[in-house]
Amino acid sequence: MAMVNKMVNNMRRELTPRQRNILAFVESFILDHGYGPTIRQIGARLRIVSPSAVFKHVASLERKGYLRRERGDLRLAGRPSGSEGRLRVPLLGSVPAGVPRESFDVSGESMDIPDWMIGRRRGNVFCIKVEGKSMIDAYIDDGDHVLLERTDSADSGEMIVALLADGSVTLKRLRREGGRTILVPENPAFAPFEVDDLRVVGRVVGVLRKY
């Protein structure tokens, strides 16, 4: 048994420089976003043109016990665990993923969240409960709790909670094109709409769901 443990420990330590760089990027990405990067995001960051080459490095890191996959999402091995730390974040209430509605339903409550989902954003994260199904194709369903990072800006393509000029709020994907600002649902039953005066309240960094 001692020999087996020694072999496993040696295998875990034997990383190529490229694998060490990939592991460092994955850890940093998870800390910043609360979820793992895609193969293409890893390749773009480390300037690896071939997705298959990135996949081989990631597979090697999985075999060596550094990374694992959870429902297709890349995670650091051992996170989360039974002894993971938890942080309490404010629950601001409900936000519609559907037709915009006036303001937040402020709950005054809070939720305990695994600290790996928050990473470096401690103190700058809040939670909302989603009402509606306009973001269902982004795997955000009615009744889900969504973690958001407080911010007043966001890039095109990010999912945000937006405060509109009339005081209503909504959860949508932000798209900017040709000087236009468009809020896009992730459900073909709902139509995108253009806004002139948009205030970003927060960007989505994670989703919590009970089955």
Q: Regarding predicted confidence, which is higher, 140 or 120?
A: 140
Confidence of residue 111 (pLDDT cuts 50, 70, 90): confident
Domain end, chosen from 73, 103, 130, is at 73
Which residue in 94, 129, 133, 172 is the catalytic one? 172
Give the total number of structural domains in the chain. Answer: 2
The predicted structure's pLDDT at residue 43: 92
Q: Supply 7's token pair.
A: 């072999």
Return the minimum-mean-pLDDT range out of 91-95, 153-157, 181-185.
91-95
* pLDDT tens per residue across span 11-22: 445 788 999 999
CB-based contact 73:34 (threshold 8 Å): no
Residues 128 and 202 in one domain: yes
Q: What is the mean predicted confidence (pLDDT) over 91-98?
A: 76
Helix 17-33 vs helix 39-46: angle between axes, to the nearest 10 degrees? 120
H-state helical runs in the chain: 2-13, 17-33, 39-46, 51-63, 115-118
Question: Residue 205 has which token pair?
Answer: 């960094």
Q: Mean pLDDT, to the nearest integer, of 135-146? A: 88
Q: In this predicted structure, what is the pLDDT of residue 108?
A: 62
| Whether residue 133 sits in one domain with residue 30 | no
- CATH number of the structural domain spanning residue 171: 2.10.109.10
Of 103, 107, 134, 153, the catalytic one is 134
Q: Reply yes or no on whether the pLDDT at 81 is more than 50.
A: no
**pTM across the whole model:** 0.57
Is 134 known to be catalytic?
A: yes
The tally of CA atoms less than 13 A away on the side-chain side of residue 187 is 16
Q: Does residue 143 have a pLDDT over 60?
A: yes
Distance CA 98, CA 87 (A): 29
Cβ atoms within 10 Å, residue 22: 25
Question: Dihedral sign, CA of 118, 121, 127, 133?
Answer: negative
| Statement to judge: residues 101 and 140 lie in one domain | yes
Active site residue 172: yes
